[in-house]
Amino acid sequence: MKIRIAYQAGCLLLAAGFAFTVHAQNEGMTQLPTHEGGAFQLTGNWKSAQSVMMSPDKSDFVKTIALSDKAKGVLLGSSSAKATAELGAGDVVLKLDFMLSPTGSALIKLPGGYDIKLMDSWKNTKLDATASGSVGGLIPLKNASKAPGLWQQLLVQFKRPTSASAAQVEKLTLNGSVIQENAFLSTSPSSQAGLTLEVTSGNVAFRNIYYQLLNDTRPLVLKNLTYTLYKAGNDRPKALLSEAILKKDTTSILTREWGVGNNSFYLVYEGTMEVAQEGDYLIQLVYMSNASLEVDGKKVLPYQWNDFQQNYVPGTVHLTKGAHLFRLDYHKFSWRRAALGMFVSTQGVRPYPLHVLSSVPEPQPIPTIEVATTGSKAELVRSFIQREGEKNKRTHCLSVGTPAGVHYSLDLNRGSLLQFWKGPFADVTDMWYERGEPQILHPMGTTTTTKGQVDWAVLTDMNAAWPDSLAPLIYKGYRLSSEGIPTTTYRLNNADITDELTPDNGGLTRTISGNIPNGYVRLVSGNSISQLEKGLYEVNGQSYFVRVDAKGKPVLRTVGGQQELLLPLSGTVRYSLIW
């Protein structure tokens, strides 16, 4: 097994400032309508549509549906088409969706003429300046591109150049993966003040374009601060008693340092938030051990543990102009360093700290322990997996990383494909650092998740709901191919089922074999599934593709508001996942 260990100890305060806006949704952002006559001045060959479909492998395959709702329109352009919109002064956060045809490419020109490349680079095995997400010749950290014909999302926070500083891409996220961070651009700015979308080859579609301008004002300040320092152990006090008070006073600053010299303590701040601009405020605490926050008597952040990395714990509250009472509780444990900070931001306002700099020291660096796929054979890791929205961990999981850079995880209890991704393989820090108590494997690329249910079942009623799991299903083990790819075997109703997933043409091909009376394999389940052409289906609004034999006869059904694509399990079922 190939193991990499890297220490990452970047600037905590710098990273914290960017954590707010780059994860923001559309709230507080301005939409640029993508239709003819909308926010963009159009030159070249553009077309407005309600929806666009493209193929992953046919460059001339483009289907559109006529525009019916301008607010949800799509702008489709071909080579040399340009679209320009004015944004106004200030640093900018830009969010948009785009789709490329095979060999399609485009440029997003930020204010000052700085280019972000959008390329058909999903199969690139080597990172270079032609990869999607390259900026000013800077190579992205990873290849996060999706296949042509799929909607992709780009989110960038850009700081314009000043007389004292070069332009900076503070953070660039492609399909959920950070691919540029704190990158300074060496080229001089041009006179371009707005945003330009330029198609350089093939066909490219854009939709859901939002932006927000940022400034450095501080519309929220803390006033009338008092603090009370209590003697406390590592258990949360049942009551804060007067006899446990170590010190109580007024203060003009928010800091952890009133408790310095105590192995453990409980610190309570009270005061007012003076608000000059009404809006939804994102307040983010950074601390070690436990903390909570109340504003106007309402919980914004509950009393909760924060981990070794002093991650930022967010809460949102709507504040009107004027004074708002707040209370901040901080409980420092004996085996953790003291650290306490509070960042705030709102629409159009760059995040800023409400604490003093010394209150949030750099965390001790923790190594990222990675299982790499640099050899000639696949890497296999048994682990727990924690799925979003599920209370309990999946405990019998097998993750497979391939040298092709295409990876997946199986739940061996259920016979279920849980997730699949590309790029680096697995972060196993939670398994192998110190006690490794969580025992959780984390994919290192942008992950596509499934429903997590069993992937085959017996259906005597085609209107019946798909089961979550099968009690009689028995996992029997796996055998390895010469490339290290496992073929897992299960026993169901006195019959064997084999399951193999192999990297193929930039995706995964899955082969399931078995003979089960009234048995079916569920290839995919989603909110929407539609056929692009014979044997090719798009899932969840062109999030990924499923390809089956064009001669096959899959069943597309709707049960419980979800669509499912099924094939009979009588012999061999083979299909491919493309993303």
The model's pLDDT over 413-429, given as tens digits with 9 standing for 90+, comes to 999 999 999 999 999 99
Residues 487, 405, single domain; the answer is: yes
**Residue where a domain terminates, one of 300, 334, 359:** 359
Q: At 571, is the secondary structure helix, strand, or coil?
A: strand
**Side chain identity at residue 259, one-letter code:** G
Inform me whether the pLDDT recorded for 28 exceeds 90: no
Q: Is residue 261 part of a domain?
A: yes
Question: Exposure of 90 by Cβ count < 10 A (0-12 exposed, 13-18 middle, 19+ buried)?
Answer: middle
Q: Which pLDDT value is given to residue 25? A: 56
At 156-202, the pLDDT tens digits run: 999 999 989 999 999 999 999 999 999 999 999 999 989 999 999 99
CATH code, domain with 257: 2.60.120.260
Cα–Cα dist 472/521, whole Å: 16
- Give the pLDDT band (50/70/90) at residue 36: confident
- Give the pLDDT band (50/70/90) at residue 17: very low
* 12 sits in which H/E element: helix 12-19
Percentage, residues of the chain above pLDDT 90:
86
Inform me whether the pLDDT recorded for 32 exceeds 50: yes
* 158 sits in which H/E element: strand 152-159
The model carries a pTM of 0.89
What are the distances in angstroms from CA 462 to CA 467, 469, 493, 520, 568?
A: 12, 17, 19, 10, 12
DSSP letters spanning 86-131: ---SSEEEEEEEEEE-TT-EEEEEETTTEEEEEE--TT-SS--TTS
Averaged pLDDT score across all residues of the chain: 93
**How many CA atoms are closer than 13 Å to the CA of 458, on its beta-carbon side?**
13
Residues 341, 406, single domain; the answer is: no
- Give the pLDDT band (50/70/90) at residue 437: confident
Q: Which pLDDT value is given to residue 2? A: 77
Written as six digits, the tokens of 254 are 């928010």
Cα–Cα dist 500/358, whole Å: 54
CATH code, domain with 527: 2.70.98
Residues 255, 384, single domain; the answer is: no
Q: Which pLDDT value is given to residue 76? A: 97
Q: What is the mean pLDDT of residues 39-44?
A: 96
Comparing 8 with 520, the larger pLDDT belongs to: 520
Residues 487, 350, single domain; the answer is: no
Full residue range of the structural domain in which residue 126 is found: 32-214
Contact 103, 202 (CB under 8 A): yes
33-69 core/surface letters (b: 16 or more CB in 10 A; e: else):
bbbeebbbebeeebbbbebbbbbbbebebbebeebee
Q: Is residue 459 part of a domain?
A: yes
**How many CA atoms are closer than 13 Å to the CA of 421, on its beta-carbon side?**
26
Q: Is residue 5 part of a domain?
A: no
At 340-397, the pLDDT tens digits run: 999 999 999 999 999 999 999 988 788 899 999 999 999 999 999 999 999 999 999 9
Q: Is residue 256 part of a domain?
A: yes
Q: What is the mean pLDDT of residues 124-146?
A: 92
Inform me whether the pLDDT recorded for 16 exceeds 60: no
Inform me whether the pLDDT recorded for 22 exceeds 50: no
Task: Using only the alpha carbons of the chain, give its radius of gyration.
Answer: 27
Q: At 357, is the secondary structure helix, strand, or coil?
A: helix
Residues 210, 244, single domain; the answer is: no
Residues 257, 123, single domain; the answer is: no
What are the distances in angstroms from CA 116 to CA 119, 198, 368?
A: 10, 10, 29
In sequence order, the 6+-apart residues with CB closer than 8 A to the CB of 532 are 53, 55, 61, 63, 149, 538, 545
* 524 sits in which H/E element: strand 507-526
Cα–Cα dist 459/41, whole Å: 55
Residues 93, 210, single domain; the answer is: yes
- The CB density around residue 204, as the number of other CB atoms within 10 Å, is 27
DSSP letters spanning 426-483: EE-HHHHSTT-TT-B-EESSPEEE---S-SEEE-SSTTSPPPS--TT-EEEEEEE-TT
Torsion angle, alpha carbons of 422, 424, 430, 434, to 10: 170
In sequence order, the 6+-apart residues with CB closer than 8 A to the CB of 101 are 54, 55, 59, 61, 62, 120, 148, 149, 202, 203, 204
Residues 186, 252, single domain; the answer is: no
At 274-320, the pLDDT tens digits run: 999 999 999 999 999 999 999 999 999 999 999 777 889 999 999 99
At 50-69, the pLDDT tens digits run: 999 999 999 999 999 999 99
Residues 390, 490, single domain; the answer is: yes
Q: Is residue 162 part of a domain?
A: yes
Mean pLDDT is lowest, of 3-12, 24-33, 247-256, for 3-12
Cα–Cα dist 243/41, whole Å: 70
Residues 138, 177, single domain; the answer is: yes
In degrees, rounded to 5, the angle at the alpha carbon of residue 392 between the alpha carbons of residues 391 and 394 is 135
At 67-123, the pLDDT tens digits run: 999 888 999 999 999 999 999 988 999 999 999 999 999 999 999 999 999 999 999
Q: Is residue 15 part of a domain?
A: no
Q: What is the mean pLDDT of residues 253-263?
A: 95
**Residue where a domain terminates, one of 359, 390, 423:** 359
Residues 265, 354, single domain; the answer is: yes
Q: Which residue reads 């108590």 in tokens?
A: 437
In sequence order, the 6+-apart residues with CB closer than 8 A to the CB of 392 are none
CATH code, domain with 207: 2.60.120.560
Q: Which pLDDT value is given to residue 178? A: 96
**Residue where a domain terminates, one of 184, 214, 244:** 214
- Number of domains, the chain: 3
At 520-546, the pLDDT tens digits run: 999 999 999 999 999 999 999 999 999
Q: Is residue 342 part of a domain?
A: yes
Q: Which residue reads 């090719």 in tokens?
A: 536
Q: Which residues pair with 204 in a beta bridge?
A: 77, 100
Q: Which pLDDT value is given to residue 174? A: 97
Contact 310, 252 (CB under 8 A): no
Q: Which pLDDT value is given to residue 189? A: 93
β-pair type (114-119, 177-184): unpaired
**Side chain identity at residue 3, one-letter code:** I
Mean pLDDT is lowest, of 298-312, 394-408, 505-519, for 298-312
Inform me whether the pLDDT recorded for 5 exceeds 90: no
Inform me whether the pLDDT recorded for 204 exceeds 60: yes
Inform me whether the pLDDT recorded for 18 exceeds 70: no
Q: What is the 3-state secondary structure (H, E, C) of 192-232?
A: CCCEEEEEEECEEEEEEEEEEEEECCCCEEEEEEEEEEEEC
Residues 291, 377, single domain; the answer is: no
Q: Is residue 10 part of a domain?
A: no
